[in-house]
Homo-oligomer: A and B are copies of this chain.
Amino acid sequence: MSTHAPHDPSSGTLSYEQAGVNYDLIDPLKISAQRAAAATAVHMSAHGFTEVKASRGESAYVVDVGPFYIASIVECLGTKTLVADEMATLTGKSYYDGIAQDTIAMAVNDLITVGATPLVVQAYWAAGGSDWFGDAQRAQALVAGWKKACDVCQVAWGGGETPALAGIVEGGRIDLAASCTGLINPKERLSVGDKLGAGDAIVLLASSGIHANGLSLARKLTERLPQGYLTEVQPGLTYGDALLAPTTLYSPVTEALYKAGITPHYCANITGHGWRKLLRHPGQFIYRIHTVPPVTPVLKFMQQHAQQDDREAYSTLNMGAGFAIFVKADQAAKVVEIAKACGIDAWDAGRVEAGEKQLLIEPLDIRFGDDDLQLR
Contacts and interface: CB of A to CB of B under 8 A. Distances in A.
A47 B72 CA distance: 17
A143 interface: yes
A64 B131 CA distance: 37
A26 B134 CA distance: 7
Interface string A132-161: 011010011001101100110011111111
A235 to B, nearest CB: 31
Q: How many A residues touch the partner, as a band?
A: 35 or more
Contacts of A44: 119, 156
Interface string A79-94: 1011000000000000
Nearest to A139: B29
A282 interface: no
Contacts of A170: 167-170
A95 interface: no
A22 interface: yes
A76 B79 CA distance: 19
A99 interface: no
Interface stretch (A173-181, A196-204, A260-268, A363-371): A173-181
A-B residue pairs, 10 tightest by C-beta: A61-B158, A179-B179, A37-B157, A36-B147, A74-B122, A22-B130, A25-B130, A43-B154, A25-B134, A76-B163
Interface of A: 20-26, 28-30, 32-34, 36-37, 39-41, 43-44, 46-47, 49, 51, 56, 60-61, 63, 65-68, 70, 72-76, 78-79, 81-82, 117, 119-120, 122-124, 126, 129-131, 133-134, 136, 139-140, 143-144, 146-147, 150-151, 154-170, 173-175, 177, 179, 181, 183
